[in-house]
Chains A and B, each alone.
Chain A
Amino acid sequence: MDYDAIVIGAGHAGIEASLALARLGKKTLMITQNLDAIGRLSCNPAVGGLAKGNIVREIDALGGEMAHLIDHTMIQYRVLNKRRGPAVQAPRAQADKFSYHRLAKETLENQQNLYIFQDTVVDIVIDAKSSSITAVKTERGHEISAPVVVLTTGTFMEGKIFIGDYMAVSGRLGEPAAIGLGTALRKKGFSVDRLKTGTPARVRGSSIDFSKMELQMGDENMLPFSFDYDQINRPSLPCYIAFTNENTHRIITDNIHRSPLYSGQIVGKGPRYCPSIEDKVVRFPDRERHQIFVEPEGIGTQEYYLNGLSSSLPEDVQRDYIHSIPGLEEAQIMRPAYAVEYDYLDPTDLFPSLESKIVSNLFIAGQTNGTSGYEEAGCQGLIAGINAARKLENEKPLILDRTEAYTGVLIDDLVTKGTKEPYRMFTSRAEYRLNLRHDSADQRLTPYAYSIGLQSQKAMDRLSRKVEQIDMVKTLLDTRKIGKKPISALLKQADTTLDTVADEVPELKSFDKSVLYQVELDIKYSGYIQRQERQVQRHLKMEKIVIPSDFDYDALDGLSSEAVEKFKAIRPKSLGQAGRISGVRNSDMAVLMVVLSKSDKVNNGSKKADTDN
Chain B
Amino acid sequence: MNTLYYQSDDIIYALATPFQPSALAIIRVSGSGCKKRLSTGFTRADALISSPSHTLVYGKLFDIDTKEHIDEVVLSVFDEKRGYTGEESVEITCHGSLYGIETIFSLLKKLGMRSAQPGEFTFRAFRNGKVDLTQAEAVMEIVHSHSSRGHSLALHRLEGDLYRQMETLKGQVLDAMSSIEVQLDYAEDDFSDEILFPYDLIEKTLESVDSLIETYSVGRMYKDGAKIVIAGSTNAGKSTLFNLLMKSERSIVSDIHGTTRDFIEGEGVIGSVPVVLYDTAGLRSSSDLIEAEGIRRSRNLMMSAHVIILLVDADDDLSQLQEHKELLEDPRCIVVYNKCDIAQKAVSPDVISISAKKGEGFARLERAVIEKIKKDMSADRGDSLIIESARQRDELVRARTALSNSIRMAQEEIPLDLIAVEVQEALDALGTLTGEVTSADILENIFSGFCVGK
Binding site for B on A (CB under 8 A): 44, 49-51, 80-81, 83-88, 92, 216, 241, 271-275, 280, 283-284, 287, 290-291, 293, 307-308, 417, 426-431, 433-434, 494, 525, 528, 531-532, 557-558, 560, 585-588, 590-591, 594-595, 597-598
Tell whether, in the assembled complex, residue B183 and residue A84 are in contact, meaning their CB atoms are under 8 Å apart: yes
| CB of B439 within 8 Å of the partner chain | yes
Binding site for A on B (CB under 8 A): 3, 6-7, 9, 126-129, 132-133, 181, 183-189, 192, 412-418, 421, 439-440, 442-443, 447, 451-454
Given known A88-B184, A290-B451, A591-B127, contact A428–B443 (CB-CB < 8 A): yes
User: Which of B7, B132, B184 meets A427, CB within 8 Å?
Assistant: B184
- Residues of B near A431 (CB, < 8 A) are 439
User: Which of A426, A430, A587 meets B443, CB within 8 Å?
Assistant: A426
Tell whether, in the assembled complex, residue B184 and residue A587 are in contact, meaning their CB atoms are under 8 Å apart: no
Tell whether, in the assembled complex, residue A434 and residue B185 are in contact, meaning their CB atoms are under 8 Å apart: no
Tell whether, in the assembled complex, residue B451 and residue A85 are in contact, meaning their CB atoms are under 8 Å apart: no
CA distance A92 to B184 in the complex (A): 15
| Closest B residue by C-beta to A493 | B412
9 other contacts beyond A83-B415, A291-B454, A494-B414, with CB at 8 A cut-off?
Answer: A216-B189, A308-B453, A427-B184, A428-B185, A429-B443, A434-B417, A586-B133, A590-B127, A598-B7
Given known A284-B451, A558-B127, contact A80–B187 (CB-CB < 8 A): yes
- Residues of A near B454 (CB, < 8 A) are 44, 274, 291, 293, 307-308
- Residues of A near B132 (CB, < 8 A) are 586
Tell whether, in the assembled complex, residue A428 and residue B184 are in contact, meaning their CB atoms are under 8 Å apart: yes
- Residues of A near B442 (CB, < 8 A) are 428
> How distant is B81 from chain A, measured CB to nearest CB, in Å?
11
Tell whether, in the assembled complex, residue B421 and residue A532 are in contact, meaning their CB atoms are under 8 Å apart: yes
- Residues of B near A434 (CB, < 8 A) are 417, 421
Tell whether, in the assembled complex, residue A86 and residue B126 are in contact, meaning their CB atoms are under 8 Å apart: no
| Closest B residue by C-beta to A287 | B451
- Residues of B near A528 (CB, < 8 A) are 418, 421
CA distance A477 to B439 in the complex (A): 37
Tell whether, in the assembled complex, residue B417 and residue A433 are in contact, meaning their CB atoms are under 8 Å apart: yes
Tell whether, in the assembled complex, residue A274 and residue B453 are in contact, meaning their CB atoms are under 8 Å apart: yes
Tell whether, in the assembled complex, residue B126 and residue A590 are in contact, meaning their CB atoms are under 8 Å apart: yes
CA distance A532 to B414 in the complex (A): 18
User: Which of B7, B181, B187 meets A49, CB within 8 Å?
Assistant: B187
- Residues of B near A80 (CB, < 8 A) are 187-189
Tell whether, in the assembled complex, residue A587 and residue B126 are in contact, meaning their CB atoms are under 8 Å apart: yes
CA distance A290 to B192 in the complex (A): 10
Tell whether, in the assembled complex, residue B127 and residue A272 are in contact, meaning their CB atoms are under 8 Å apart: no
Given known A428-B439, A558-B127, contact A84–B451 (CB-CB < 8 A): no
| Closest A residue by C-beta to B442 | A428
- Residues of B near A287 (CB, < 8 A) are 451
16 A/B residue pairs, CB under 8 Å, sorted by A? A80-B189, A81-B187, A88-B185, A92-B187, A272-B447, A273-B443, A307-B454, A426-B185, A426-B443, A428-B443, A429-B443, A433-B417, A528-B418, A586-B132, A590-B126, A598-B7
Tell whether, in the assembled complex, residue A50 and residue B129 are in contact, meaning their CB atoms are under 8 Å apart: no
Tell whether, in the assembled complex, residue B126 and residue A427 are in contact, meaning their CB atoms are under 8 Å apart: no
| Closest A-B pairs by Cβ, 6 of them | A85-B417, A85-B415, A80-B187, A87-B417, A272-B447, A274-B453
Given known A88-B417, A290-B451, A586-B133, contact A81–B188 (CB-CB < 8 A): yes
Given known A50-B184, A83-B415, A293-B454, contact A241–B189 (CB-CB < 8 A): yes
CA distance A427 to B183 in the complex (A): 11
CA distance A417 to B447 in the complex (A): 19
| Closest A residue by C-beta to B185 | A426
Tell whether, in the assembled complex, residue A594 and residue B133 are in contact, meaning their CB atoms are under 8 Å apart: no
CA distance A274 to B453 in the complex (A): 5
CA distance A278 to B7 in the complex (A): 56
CA distance A429 to B192 in the complex (A): 22
Tell whether, in the assembled complex, residue B128 and residue A84 are in contact, meaning their CB atoms are under 8 Å apart: no
User: Which of B184, B188, B453 meets A85, CB within 8 Å?
Assistant: B184
CA distance A51 to B181 in the complex (A): 13
Tell whether, in the assembled complex, residue A275 and residue B416 are in contact, meaning their CB atoms are under 8 Å apart: no
CA distance A307 to B189 in the complex (A): 11
- Residues of B near A50 (CB, < 8 A) are 184-187
| Closest B residue by C-beta to A271 | B453
CA distance A88 to B447 in the complex (A): 19
- Residues of B near A290 (CB, < 8 A) are 451
- Residues of A near B421 (CB, < 8 A) are 434, 528, 531-532
- Residues of A near B412 (CB, < 8 A) are 494
| Closest A residue by C-beta to B181 | A428
- Residues of B near A307 (CB, < 8 A) are 454
CA distance A87 to B185 in the complex (A): 11
CA distance A557 to B126 in the complex (A): 13
Given known A307-B454, A587-B127, contact A429–B439 (CB-CB < 8 A): yes
Tell whether, in the assembled complex, residue A594 and residue B188 are in contact, meaning their CB atoms are under 8 Å apart: no
- Residues of B near A81 (CB, < 8 A) are 184, 187-188
- Residues of B near A49 (CB, < 8 A) are 187
CA distance A80 to B447 in the complex (A): 20
| Closest B residue by C-beta to A280 | B451
Tell whether, in the assembled complex, residue B415 and residue A86 are in contact, meaning their CB atoms are under 8 Å apart: yes
Tell whether, in the assembled complex, residue A84 and residue B184 are in contact, meaning their CB atoms are under 8 Å apart: yes
| Closest A residue by C-beta to B192 | A291
- Residues of B near A280 (CB, < 8 A) are 451, 453
CA distance A591 to B132 in the complex (A): 14
CA distance A1 to B287 in the complex (A): 104
> How distant is B181 from chain A, measured CB to nearest CB, in Å?
5
| Closest A residue by C-beta to B428 | A535
CA distance A428 to B442 in the complex (A): 8
- Residues of B near A585 (CB, < 8 A) are 129
| Closest A residue by C-beta to B414 | A494
CA distance A63 to B452 in the complex (A): 33
CA distance A74 to B328 in the complex (A): 81
| Closest A residue by C-beta to B126 | A587
Tell whether, in the assembled complex, residue B133 and residue A86 are in contact, meaning their CB atoms are under 8 Å apart: no
Given known A273-B452, A428-B184, A558-B128, contact A594–B6 (CB-CB < 8 A): yes
CA distance A567 to B83 in the complex (A): 27
- Residues of B near A92 (CB, < 8 A) are 187
Tell whether, in the assembled complex, residue A293 and residue B415 are in contact, meaning their CB atoms are under 8 Å apart: no
User: Which of A44, A291, A590 meets B189, CB within 8 Å?
Assistant: A291
- Residues of A near B184 (CB, < 8 A) are 50, 81, 84-85, 88, 427-428
CA distance A431 to B417 in the complex (A): 12
CA distance A284 to B448 in the complex (A): 10
> How distant is A436 from chain B, measured CB to nearest CB, in Å?
11
> Chain B CB within 10 Å — which of A307, A494, A586 has the most?
A586
CA distance A30 to B185 in the complex (A): 35
- Residues of B near A430 (CB, < 8 A) are 439
CA distance A194 to B377 in the complex (A): 59
- Residues of B near A587 (CB, < 8 A) are 126-129
- Residues of A near B126 (CB, < 8 A) are 586-587, 590
> How distant is B191 from chain A, measured CB to nearest CB, in Å?
9
Tell whether, in the assembled complex, residue B3 and residue A594 are in contact, meaning their CB atoms are under 8 Å apart: yes
- Residues of A near B127 (CB, < 8 A) are 558, 587, 590-591
> How distant is A427 from chain B, measured CB to nearest CB, in Å?
6
| Closest A residue by C-beta to B425 | A531
| Closest B residue by C-beta to A594 | B7
User: Which of B7, B189, B453 meets A275, CB within 8 Å?
Assistant: B453
> Chain B CB within 10 Å — which of A274, A531, A587 has the most?
A587
CA distance A588 to B129 in the complex (A): 8
| Closest B residue by C-beta to A437 | B417
Tell whether, in the assembled complex, residue B133 and residue A84 are in contact, meaning their CB atoms are under 8 Å apart: no
CA distance A88 to B128 in the complex (A): 41
CA distance A427 to B6 in the complex (A): 40
| Closest A residue by C-beta to B132 | A586
CA distance A587 to B421 in the complex (A): 28
| Closest B residue by C-beta to A409 | B439
| Closest A residue by C-beta to B424 | A431
CA distance A344 to B126 in the complex (A): 38
Given known A291-B192, A560-B129, contact A417–B440 (CB-CB < 8 A): yes
Given known A81-B184, A434-B421, A560-B129, contact A273–B453 (CB-CB < 8 A): yes
| Closest A residue by C-beta to B421 | A528
